[in-house]
Amino acid sequence: MKKLILTVLVSLGLTTASFAGSFGIGASGSLALVGASGTETTTAGTVGGGTADKHDKSVDELGGIGAVFVDYQFDNGIAIGISHVPGSAEVSGSKHERSETAQGVSGTDASGDVTRKADAEVENFNTIYVEYPIGGTGFIKAGFSQIDVNTLENTVTDSGTYGNDTVDGYTIGLGGRSEFAGLFTSYAVEYTDFSSLDLTSTTGNSISADIDVLEVKISVGKRF
């Protein structure tokens, strides 16, 4: 993603040599509905003598998202930009638990029944996008997004852990633009659909998860 962002920034710099337009920098705030669903397939524990078992969970969380962005807008109204959401956030507001028979060696701290706790956090939500003007002050938006997903499960002896991964997605949106007191503003509804997250634990368990984000967004910036 860093290489892609650098390529876009260089392209924007070269673009200014042959096309009139202006750079913009600003911040946005969104009311976002984050939907996440996942399935874990285990190979032992309470699964009955080592046969596989599946555990499904779906959550929907409503919250706020803040982002910063930089773009370049041509005189014809087309804008190319990059947005970044700083910080991290948990996918769900609470951890999810289940009890199972441990996979550890008899006599260790993992023998007997244990409680598995699972959650995930996301960070580095970045989007490279294009806004195309329609109907005067309106625009449609399309972009390529990436996000880092970090698993937050508790570690139980010999029960395995999952790693972290980066998933790609696409963003589409519809909105409008205006100007106020020397600033430009925009409002939009955006939807980001990420590809499936597939991870395998150190003991052969696996998870498959899907994340999507629906945002109502307001942005304010300054052009130079």
The pLDDT value given to residue 30 = 96
pLDDT of 140: 97
In the chain the domains, ranked by start, together with CATH numbers, are 2-103+111-223 (2.40.160)
**Number of other residues whose CB lies within 10 A of the CB of residue 91:** 19
> Residue 64: what pLDDT?
93
- pLDDT value, residue 99: 53
Predicted pLDDT at 55: 78
Which of the residues in the chain have pLDDT under 70?
1-19, 44-52, 91-119, 153-160
Q: Are 147 and 195 in contact (CB under 8 A)?
A: no
pLDDT the model gives residue 151: 81
> Which pLDDT value is given to residue 112?
52
Q: In this predicted structure, what is the pLDDT of residue 33? A: 93
Q: What per-residue confidence (pLDDT) applies to 157? A: 47
- Give residue 164's pLDDT: 86
Which tens digits make up the pLDDT trace of 67-83? 999 999 999 999 999 99
At residue 180, the pLDDT reads 87
